[in-house]
A = this chain, B = another copy of it.
Amino acid sequence: MAARSFAIGLDFGTGSVRAVVVDCADGRVIGTSVFEFPTGLGGVIVDAHDPHLARQNPADYLAGLKAAVPGALAAAGVDPGFSRDHVIGIGVDTTGSTPIPVDKNMRPLALDPKWTGHPAAQAWLWKDHTGAQEAAAITAMAREHAPQYLAVIGGTYSSEWFWSKIWRCLKVAPDVFAAAGSWVELADYIPAALAGVPTPGAVRRGVCAAGHKAMYSDTWGGLPSEQFLARLDPRLAALRPRLYDKAWPSDRPAGALCAEWAGVFGLAEGLPIAMGAFDAHYGAIGAGITTGTLVKIIGTSTCDIAITPATGDAPNVAGICGTVNGSVMPGYYGVEAGQSAVGDLLRWWVEVVCGGDEAMHAALSAGAARLVPGESGLVALDWNNGNRTILVDARLTGLIVGQTLHTARAEIYRALIEATAFGARAIIERLNASGVIIERVIACGGIAEKNPLFMQIYADVLGYPMLLAGSAQTPALGASIAAAVTAGSKAGGYDDFESAQRRMTTLADTRYLPDPAARRAYDDLYRLYRELHDSFGGVPDARADVPTLMKRLLAIRERAHGDHTR
């Protein structure tokens, strides 16, 4: 039997970084360490005057590396077969789009005493929405001049993404923009830091962030053209040469561990570092994604990942967040979709409306479980935080219909779960109709593991068995798989993702099968959901040039807010 080998996976989340040491033979996690980001509120820098602002201190990332990697290695040391000499590589996944302004020596501007504490010099966290106007302007400009840019990202550029944030920085903090030698996604920054990459030009960028968030494609020669960027602002066009020309899939090394970090970790200098990718993408790998599998990472929101062989043109899936060659695995188009509020929708109901806590979540789940589909007479839209897929409209709002004077909390709780399941069904139907055929669904994330009612409703609404990933930490596991693949079989890893997944990922024993009677009832309810979905989320009345009711309601709301704050 060959010597054991181990890979390190690093998962940079919103509030913390998790390091795991994984046995490459079976994917078992033998050491874990979590470092909570110290800056701001739960790791997030916020602004009391602007709810859309969310930044992160890059120093926290480096502190996290220093604490979590040695911590996980120390924890792994309990395994008598573990040795630091048998660590074969490091993989990294992060939130995104989380771009960081860096100087010409790859130092984040925020680490320069001149810019420390300046909000625009920090990492612009994925959920920062300050660039909403910029996103709208980018979408409008691309619709007119470069529709190909939008075709693969669902038709709308988001305020959460790379260019919206950089352009916003240019507008509100031109001094920070001018000082930035380049901008680097967190998913690319961490591998580059570990490799000691000396300049932004030497950073190997991953296609996951580039393709899904920065309108990168080999088809049109990389990032958006200078002509296009110049239409937005000439200074954005002038930035382009300082970004990157090429982005790489996830089986190519991002670099090799530099001497300095090797010393900190007590690992060998030169260890391969896998290309960085977003948490959902490596999470999908850790969940065991294959062609025909939809991986649902279900948390406060849901991220859906599918792959389809990159043998022809990219599938054109209208309203899907993105379709990028190699963004999940080389040789496949990665297809990303999502729902903006899932756990957050239930949290809103239980905590904001009903004033409850975890105990009430459990009580309402129990009450909801006693109902049969349709019994409450309720149907809801799951748009309290907008609709990411398939309508791509962040301004949409929620709707509940069917209440009586007897309608109970648990009934609405169930109706909200059902609404998210109907939203999930709309996504699967769109994928199937676009040729990305879904044959099985694997869920991972906290809700999937903890809420059997939720999973059963999904099985009944979707009409698929709901499988559960074997790991509770699929992103970190996926990152370690990327490390094992980057290291290769000769080093004790694997030569491709498929063979690594077969050995290193599992499914949980628990699975939820659709109940035929419930499924019939939900087929009927789903028709009503789609009717509400299409009429409230649909296009304005073209004849009369009247916006939809929901949009007119928002216009009234905005006017009222203006009145109230004047």
Residues in chain A within 8 A of chain B (CB atoms): 341, 344-345, 347-348, 352-355, 371-379, 384-385, 397-409, 412, 517, 521, 524-525, 528, 531-532, 536, 549-550, 552-554, 556-557, 559-561, 563-564
- Residues B564 and A372 in contact, CB atoms below 8 Å apart: yes
Which residues of chain B are within 8 angstroms of A409 by Cβ–Cβ distance?
352-353, 355
- Residues B553 and A528 in contact, CB atoms below 8 Å apart: yes
Q: How close is A489's CB to chain B, nearest CB, in angstroms?
A: 47
- Residues A345 and B405 in contact, CB atoms below 8 Å apart: yes
Q: How close is A183's CB to chain B, nearest CB, in angstroms?
A: 29
Which residues of chain B are within 8 angstroms of A557 by Cβ–Cβ distance?
374-377, 402
Q: How close is A41's CB to chain B, nearest CB, in angstroms?
A: 16
Which residues of chain B are within 8 angstroms of A524 by Cβ–Cβ distance?
552, 556
Q: How close is A316's CB to chain B, nearest CB, in angstroms?
A: 31
Which residues of chain B are within 8 angstroms of A379 by Cβ–Cβ distance?
553
Alpha-carbon separation in the docked complex, A193 to B287 (Å)? 80
Q: How close is A189's CB to chain B, nearest CB, in angstroms?
A: 30
Alpha-carbon separation in the docked complex, A496 to B378 (Å)? 52
Query: What are 15 A-to-B residue pairs whose CB atoms are below 8 Å?
Result: A345-B405, A355-B409, A372-B563, A372-B564, A374-B556, A375-B564, A385-B404, A398-B402, A399-B399, A400-B400, A400-B403, A401-B550, A402-B554, A521-B560, A528-B549
Alpha-carbon separation in the docked complex, A345 to B403 (Å)? 10
Q: How close is A214's CB to chain B, nearest CB, in angstroms?
A: 28
Alpha-carbon separation in the docked complex, A402 to B398 (Å)? 5
- Residues A377 and B549 in contact, CB atoms below 8 Å apart: no
Alpha-carbon separation in the docked complex, A557 to B384 (Å)? 24
Alpha-carbon separation in the docked complex, A553 to B553 (Å)? 24
Alpha-carbon separation in the docked complex, A384 to B406 (Å)? 8
- Residues A353 and B355 in contact, CB atoms below 8 Å apart: no
Q: Given A399-B399, A536-B401, do A348 and B407 touch, yes or no (CB 8 Å)?
A: yes
Alpha-carbon separation in the docked complex, A77 to B43 (Å)? 74
Which residues of chain B are within 8 angstroms of A375 by Cβ–Cβ distance?
557, 560-561, 563-564
- Residues A517 and B563 in contact, CB atoms below 8 Å apart: yes
Alpha-carbon separation in the docked complex, A336 to B402 (Å)? 27
Which residues of chain B are within 8 angstroms of A528 by Cβ–Cβ distance?
549, 552-553, 556
Question: Which chain B residue has the least Cβ–Cβ distance from A370?
Answer: B564
- Residues A549 and B563 in contact, CB atoms below 8 Å apart: no
Q: Given A354-B355, A550-B402, do A556 and B384 touch, yes or no (CB 8 Å)?
A: no
Interchain CB contact (< 8 A) of A353 among B353, B398, B401: B353
Q: Given A353-B354, A517-B563, A524-B556, do A397 and B402 touch, yes or no (CB 8 Å)?
A: yes
- Residues A549 and B561 in contact, CB atoms below 8 Å apart: no
Alpha-carbon separation in the docked complex, A358 to B398 (Å)? 28
Interchain CB contact (< 8 A) of A401 among B354, B399, B521: B399
For A354, A412, A563, which residue has the most chain B Cβ atoms within 10 angstroms? A563
For A354, A408, A559, which residue has the most chain B Cβ atoms within 10 angstroms? A559
Q: How close is A420's CB to chain B, nearest CB, in angstroms?
A: 13
Which residues of chain B are within 8 angstroms of A397 by Cβ–Cβ distance?
377, 401-404
Alpha-carbon separation in the docked complex, A267 to B532 (Å)? 65
- Residues A354 and B354 in contact, CB atoms below 8 Å apart: yes
Q: How close is A413's CB to chain B, nearest CB, in angstroms?
A: 11
Alpha-carbon separation in the docked complex, A561 to B399 (Å)? 23
Which residues of chain B are within 8 angstroms of A406 by Cβ–Cβ distance?
348, 352
Question: Which chain B residue has the least Cβ–Cβ distance from A353?
Answer: B409
Q: How close is A355's CB to chain B, nearest CB, in angstroms?
A: 7
Alpha-carbon separation in the docked complex, A355 to B550 (Å)? 29
Which residues of chain B are within 8 angstroms of A376 by Cβ–Cβ distance?
557
Which residues of chain B are within 8 angstroms of A404 by Cβ–Cβ distance?
384-385, 397-398
- Residues A348 and B521 in contact, CB atoms below 8 Å apart: no
- Residues A531 and B560 in contact, CB atoms below 8 Å apart: no
Which residues of chain B are within 8 angstroms of A552 by Cβ–Cβ distance?
524, 528
- Residues B407 and A403 in contact, CB atoms below 8 Å apart: no
Q: How close is A408's CB to chain B, nearest CB, in angstroms?
A: 6
Alpha-carbon separation in the docked complex, A156 to B397 (Å)? 36
Alpha-carbon separation in the docked complex, A371 to B565 (Å)? 11
Q: How close is A80's CB to chain B, nearest CB, in angstroms?
A: 48
Alpha-carbon separation in the docked complex, A557 to B385 (Å)? 28
Which residues of chain B are within 8 angstroms of A400 by Cβ–Cβ distance?
398-401, 403
Alpha-carbon separation in the docked complex, A560 to B372 (Å)? 6
Q: How close is A388's CB to chain B, nearest CB, in angstroms?
A: 14
Alpha-carbon separation in the docked complex, A373 to B561 (Å)? 9
Interchain CB contact (< 8 A) of A521 among B347, B352, B556: B556
Q: Given A528-B553, A552-B528, do A405 and B352 touch, yes or no (CB 8 Å)?
A: yes
Question: Which chain B residue has the least Cβ–Cβ distance from A552?
Answer: B528
Q: How close is A18's CB to chain B, nearest CB, in angstroms?
A: 26
For A374, A379, A517, A524, which residue has the most chain B Cβ atoms within 10 angstroms? A374
Question: Which chain B residue has the least Cβ–Cβ distance from A553?
Answer: B402
Q: How close is A557's CB to chain B, nearest CB, in angstroms?
A: 4
